[in-house]
Amino acid sequence: MIHILVSACLIGQNCKWDGKNNRDQKLLDFMERTKGIAEFHPVCPEEMGGLPTPRPAAEIRKEDEIVINREDRNVTAEFLLGADMALRTAKKYGCEIAILKERSPSCGKNGIYDGTFTHTLVPGMGKTAALLSGYGIRVVGESEIAELEKEMLDFSDARE
């Protein structure tokens, strides 16, 4: 069994900053197709770090890596705690892969917003994605699920 950490908002949990979700049908279909070879463990690092839902949107300031929310409050500590809690969950279940929401200041992988709240993307990772990556967990964005599925099914066929 392959254990996979997953951003809870991608599977439809209303944990996004605005109280909504980022339900991704491609991910849900992938979860259905990989039943029996993969087990999924949902996490929302921002909630795990103690932030309420809904909450003001936050971004990582490019110049100093501080996480600042729209009300100009420094929420770096909550983001780092959430990242740590997500890592603990990954370790608890032996997750080698994490499918995380792209562009999020927690979960984003291939680019995040620059802290100016102007929808400006810059290279970088969210706090949780970076921590998990640093511990050797493969972080996959929701746009990369097809590639991951192909690899998993090839791997599964090779073992039969």
Q: Which residues bind ligand SF4 (CB under 6 A)?
A: 7-9, 15-16, 44-46, 101, 104, 106-107
Give least dist CB 108 to ligand SF4, A. 8
What is the helix (H) or strand (E) element at residue 61, kind and residue range? none
Which of 43/152 has CB closer to ligand SF4? 43
CB–CB of 99/145 below 8 Å?
yes
Question: Could you give the CA distance from residue 20 to residue 16 in angstroms, rounded to a whole number?
Answer: 5
Question: Could you give the CA distance from residue 39 to residue 92 in angstroms, rounded to a whole number?
Answer: 13
Which of 42/156 has CB closer to ligand SF4? 42
Q: Which residue is nearest to ligand SF4 (CB)?
A: 9
Give least dist CB 31 to ligand SF4, A. 15
| Closest to 97 measured CA to CA, from 157, 37, 47 | 37
Give least dist CB 153 to ligand SF4, A. 26
Question: Could you give the CA distance from residue 125 to residue 91 in angstroms, rounded to a whole number?
Answer: 20
Which of 50/150 has CB closer to ligand SF4? 50
